[in-house]
Amino acid sequence: MKVNRRAALAGGVAAAVIGTGVAGAQTPVRIRKGAGGLTATSDDVVALSEAARIMKRRNDGLSWARQTQIHHRDSQHNNGLFLPWHRQQLVHMERIVARLTGHESFAMPYWDWQEHRFLPEWVCDPDSPLYERERARGVETLDFAAARWAESSYTARLASDGFETFCGKLPEGAGMVEGYGHNHIHQLIGGAMRHPRTSARDAMFWLHHANVDRVWATWHRNRGRNLYPAEWTARTVTGFVDVEGRPVGELPVGGRLETRPLGYDYDRLYPFPVFSVPEEGPPGATRRVPTGAQSWTVRAGAAGAGRVSLTLPEEAVARMREADDTLMIAGEGSVAYAREAALEDRSLEIRLTAGGRERSLGSSPTFVHIPEAGDGHDGHRGPYVLPFRFGEEVLNLLASGDGPAAVTVFAEDLAPEPARPEARAEWIELTLKLTETRWA
């Protein structure tokens, strides 16, 4: 295997190899590194910059505009194919950059907005081909971690989420990783990043999605290997071009689950809290043992207004109001809005209301793929579905007053215009499970 100078500079990356299926042939595993630790002269940044300059001058299958168009026409959003589709687009883009620039060990940097709270300086330089002039005002100095958590404290749980909660549903329904961590960053960066039809034009799209993919790789290591449904792994993703700019056929989702067979890995996976402290309870007790559970599933329709509400079952609310530390609460729900242009540039705000007070259950800026003739995605025809959830954190609110409790969702307008049509809610549903426990 030939190793060029840049592969050597990458810290021995090319020493890790995988089989290609061709006798005697091996391919280097590219190692994706954190963007916050790189500079404008880092090998991967130089390669990406060179590729952007080359691709923005082309008008063929290897152009920057073609990658933007691919995401606009073929990307999967708001359903369970979101993660594998974007993983494969990144893989093909990575290979194209390596081919066009000769940086054989190129790996797409990932931008972890929690660890490196500001945009990398090298994407904010107006003279760089990675610069996008239409980003939100002040984005160069925005603390993304502070801004993100100020919007919503809810996100994916990398050590406990199940498949649909994390990855999403078929035929429609976002997972937590898409609906919250992903959507918020697109909105905060702004400009081209706000909409699927233009987002891949901004170099930050690639860095952001590399980190989203890293989040999936972390969940996969912790939870995913035995959770993927056969129906899901049998699906295919398509729409990509190869290193020659030629269309790539359908690719099975089951072949997108591991990163190393696809030719890349991460320098380290996504960090997340490890809770090793015993739960607080009576002296000598360390855990709660379930003794029984009851669950309710409720659903409410909407009359096309921008707001929809669902009243929690009275029996469940009464039990939660009298709860002590032996009751465990798990509320998981979804809300659906019509998939249309009026939903763009909105934020779905989810509230639990009781006794004249309210608590946020999360918010998510919409990232809506509006169906067009010929885009071929049935998953873009149904409603736009966002998940939400809550647990014991709602007890203080419920205990503060009598009367009914309800989950309410409204579509806040982030770009008000005169006579703009209102977003249309379709339905809301919730499964609430209360588990009685004893301390042991």
Tell me the pLDDT tens digit for each residue of 209-264.
999 999 999 999 999 889 999 999 999 999 999 999 999 999 999 999 999 999 99
pLDDT of 351 reads 96
pLDDT of 380 reads 65
Alpha-carbon Rg for the chain, nearest whole angstrom, is: 23
Domains present along the chain, CATH in parentheses: 5-266 (1.10.1280.10), 288-439 (2.60.120)
Residue 404: asked if its preceding bond is cis (omega within 30°), the reply is: no
Weakest mean pLDDT among 14-23, 36-45, 72-81, 430-439: 14-23
Of 352, 336, 330, nearest to 301 by C-alpha is: 336
CB 32 within 8 A of CB 81: no
Model confidence, pTM? 0.89
Tell me which H or E stretch contains 92: helix 82-101
- CA–CA distance, 397 with 332 (Å, rounded to integer): 18
Which residues in 98-119 are b (16+ Cβ under 10 Å) and which e?
Answer: bbbbebbbbbbbbbbbeebebb
Helix (H, G, I), strand (E, B) or coil at 321: helix
Tell me the pLDDT tens digit for each residue of 95-138.
999 999 999 999 999 999 999 999 999 999 999 999 999 999 99
Residue 147 corresponds to which tokens in the numbers above? 């801004």
- CA–CA distance, 254 with 236 (Å, rounded to integer): 8
Which residues in 307-318 are b (16+ Cβ under 10 Å) and which e?
Answer: ebebebbeebbe
Weakest mean pLDDT among 4-8, 280-284, 339-343, 397-401: 4-8
pLDDT of 378 reads 53
In one letter, which amino acid is 61? Answer: G
- CA–CA distance, 233 with 222 (Å, rounded to integer): 18
Q: Using the structure block, give the residue that is written with the tokens 């603390």.
A: 143
- CA–CA distance, 359 with 320 (Å, rounded to integer): 15
pLDDT of 372 reads 74
Would you place residue 375 in the very low, low, confident or very high pLDDT band (cuts 50, 70, 90)? low
Q: What one-character DSSP code corresponds to residue 304? A: S
Strand 288-301 with 384-390, pairing: unpaired
Of 43, 37, 40, 35, nearest to 11 by C-alpha is: 43
CB atoms within 10 A of CB 233: 14
Q: Where are the beta strands (DSSP E) in 101-195?
A: none
Is 325 or 429 the better-scoring residue by pLDDT? Answer: 429
Tell me the pLDDT tens digit for each residue of 150-181.
888 888 888 889 999 999 999 999 999 999 98
Tell me the average pLDDT of the chain. 89
Q: Using the structure block, give the residue that is written with the tokens 């687009």.
A: 89
In one letter, which amino acid is 419? Answer: A
Of 192, 173, 195, 171, nearest to 183 by C-alpha is: 195
* Helix and strand element counts for the chain (H, E): 12, 14
